[in-house]
C-alpha cells in the first residue's frame, strides 16, 4: 500500500561547533566567574549573568551571535531580520552525581549554550510537552520522532546548541565519574527593530 507520510510543524534545535580554541581572554573570564557560583536546584550557576558583556568576550559573543542569525534565517525565512541581542549570559556547572532541572527560558526568544567542558556521553535533553501531556500513552517498542516524549542531543566541548526559548530541556543526572564538571555558558537572546507587516496592522517596533 502506498502511503504518503506528511510531517507537520517540527521544532528545530541547531547544533554548531565553534571550531576554534577559546582565546586566553575568554577562558580567563570564564575561569574567573567559575570562582563565584551559587547553588541551583541540582547544580551550580554563576552569580554573573552578563558574561558576554565582559572585557575579553567580544569575539566569542560575536561568533555565537552569528550562529543565532543562522538559526533565525534557517527557521523563520523572514522577509526582514530583526537585530538580535543577548539579554543574559551565565555559567552552569554540573558535577558528577548532579543534574540540571527541567525548565524553559521565559522572557526570551532564542536560547542556547556554548559547551566549555563536556565529556563522552554528555547531552542536553529536550522535552516534547505536547506528547507528555496527552491522556493516552502507548509504551513504544521503538522510539521515533512521532512518539518521542524526550530527545537527547549529544554535546561535546566547543559545541554551541541553539533552540527556541520556550522549548523545555534539562540535563539528566551525571552518573559517571568525570575528569571535569560539565560546564556550559548559557545565553538568552531577544530582538529589537521592526517586525510584522504594518499594512496588515501587525507591524511592531521593539526598541
Ligand atoms: Fe536552560
Asked if residue 109 is part of any domain, the answer here is yes
Ordered mean pLDDT values, 10 residues apiece, the chain (207 residues):
95 97 98 98 98 98 98 96 97 98 98 98 97 94 94 98 98 95 98 95 94
Asked if residue 201 is part of any domain, the answer here is no
Count other Cβ atoms within 10 Å, centred on residue 100: 25
pLDDT of residue 145: 92
How many Å lie between the centroid of ligand 1 and the Cα of residue 72? 19
Asked if residue 204 is part of any domain, the answer here is no
How many Å lie between the centroid of ligand 1 and the Cα of residue 44? 12
Asked if residue 2 is part of any domain, the answer here is no
Asked if residue 207 is part of any domain, the answer here is no
pLDDT of residue 161: 98
Query: pTM of the full predicted structure?
Result: 0.96
Asked if residue 126 is part of any domain, the answer here is yes
How many Å lie between the centroid of ligand 1 and the Cα of residue 206? 24
How many Å lie between the centroid of ligand 1 and the Cα of residue 2? 42
How many Å lie between the centroid of ligand 1 and the Cα of residue 174? 16
| Overall number of domains in the chain | 1
* Distance (Å, whole) CA 138 – CA 146: 12
- Structural domain including 71 reads 17-136+144-193
How many Å lie between the centroid of ligand 1 and the Cα of residue 186? 7
Query: What three-state secondary structure class fits 184?
Result: strand
**CATH of residue 169:** 2.60.120.620
Angle at 62 between CA 59 and CA 79, to 5 degrees: 165
Amino acid at each position: 500500500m502506498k502511503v504518503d507520510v506528511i510531517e507537520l510543524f517540527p521544532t528545530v534545535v541547531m547544533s554548531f561547533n565553534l571550531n576554534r580554541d577559546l582565546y586566553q581572554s575568554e577562558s580567563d573570564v570564564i575561569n574567573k566567574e567559575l570562582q563565584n557560583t551559587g547553588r541551583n536546584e541540582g547544580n551550580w550557576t554563576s552569580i554573573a549573568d552578563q558574561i558576554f558583556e565582559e572585557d575579553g568576550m567580544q569575539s566569542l559573543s560575536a561568533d555565537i551571535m552569528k550562529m543565532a542569525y543562522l538559526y533565525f534565517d534557517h527557521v523563520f525565512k523572514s522577509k526582514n531580520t530583526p537585530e538580535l541581542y543577548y539579554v543574559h549570559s551565565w555559567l552552569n556547572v554540573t558535577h558528577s552525581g548532579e543534574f540540571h532541572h527541567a525548565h524553559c527560558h521565559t522572557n526570551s526568544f532564542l536560547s542556547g549554550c556554548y559547551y566549555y567542558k563536556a565529556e563522552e556521553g554528555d547531552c542536553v535533553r529536550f522535552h516534547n510537552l505536547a506528547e507528555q501531556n496527552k491522556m493516552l500513552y502507548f509504551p513504544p517498542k521503538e522510539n521515533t520522532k512521532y512518539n518521542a516524549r524526550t530527545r537527547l542531543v549529544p554535546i561535546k566541548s566547543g559545541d554551541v546548541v541553539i533552540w527556541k526559548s520556550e522549548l523545555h530541556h534539562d540535563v539528566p543526572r551525571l552518573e559517571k565519574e568525570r575528569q571535569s564538571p560539565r560546564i556550559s555558558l548559557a545565553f538568552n537572546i531577544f530582538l529589537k527593530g521592526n517586525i510584522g507587516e504594518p499594512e496588515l496592522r501587525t507591524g511592531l517596533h521593539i526598541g
